[in-house]
């Protein structure tokens, strides 16, 4: 008589980085470097803004304006992620600042550049808090890892 034993092991759900890059996000030293980078950008933006003598109430008033991009989620996840990412990429305010400098805007020093510095500071704070660029799969799926409830 032969006895065979079968050991049933339930598969463990391990996210595949190829399928779900947002599941784990940046960890360890990479996460520390990204946070240091965000803190450095934040410090530079705050220092730059302070040079314009516009006062901090203006800073506070404009600080959350980039978050209006989340309204894109009313049109769906893809449009929402695209609008959020456009407003939360350092490239957008930097390109606008370069364009303003290139076009010799008359009010650049008094309005446009300080507003762009506030925008950059907003992005930097988001990165420090772990909010990254969004994948279209869900609002909490970011390049820095999953944010919020699973």
Distance of alpha carbon 51 from alpha carbon 34, whole angstroms: 26
45 phi and psi angles, rounded to 5 deg: -65, -40
Average pLDDT, the chain: 84
DSSP symbols for 79-99: HHHHHHHHHTSTHHHHHHHHH
Please, which pLDDT band fits residue 147 given cuts at 50, 70 and 90?
confident
Question: pLDDT at position 101, please?
Answer: 81
Cα–Cα distance measured from residue 52 to residue 145, given in angstroms and rounded to the nearest whole number:
36
pLDDT in tens, 59-97: 999 999 999 999 999 999 999 999 999 999 999 999 988
CA distances from 20 to 26, 83, 136, 138 (A): 13, 21, 12, 11
Residue 69: the pLDDT is: 97
Q: How confident is the model at residue 148 (pLDDT cuts 50, 70, 90)?
A: low
Domain ranges of the chain: 28-138
- At 52, give phi and psi (nearest 5°): -90, -10
pLDDT at 8 over 70: no
Q: What pTM was estimated for this model as a whole?
A: 0.80
């Amino acid at each position: 008589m032969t006895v065979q034993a079968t050991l049933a092991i339930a598969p463990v759900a391990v996210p595949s980085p190829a399928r779900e890059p947002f599941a784990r996000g940046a960890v360890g030293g990479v996460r520390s470097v990204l946070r240091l980078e965000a803190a450095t950008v934040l410090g530079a933006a705050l220092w730059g803004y302070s040079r314009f003598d516009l006062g901090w109430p203006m800073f506070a008033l404009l600080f959350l304006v980039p978050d209006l991009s989340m309204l894109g989620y009313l049109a769906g996840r893809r449009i929402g992620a695209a609008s959020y990412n456009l407003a939360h990429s350092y490239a957008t305010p930097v390109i606008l600042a370069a364009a303003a400098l290139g076009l010799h805007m008359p009010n650049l020093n008094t309005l446009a550049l300080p507003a762009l510095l506030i925008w950059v500071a907003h992005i930097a704070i988001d990165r420090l808090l772990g909010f990254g660029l969004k994948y279209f799969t869900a609002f909490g799926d970011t390049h820095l890892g999953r944010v919020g409830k699973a």
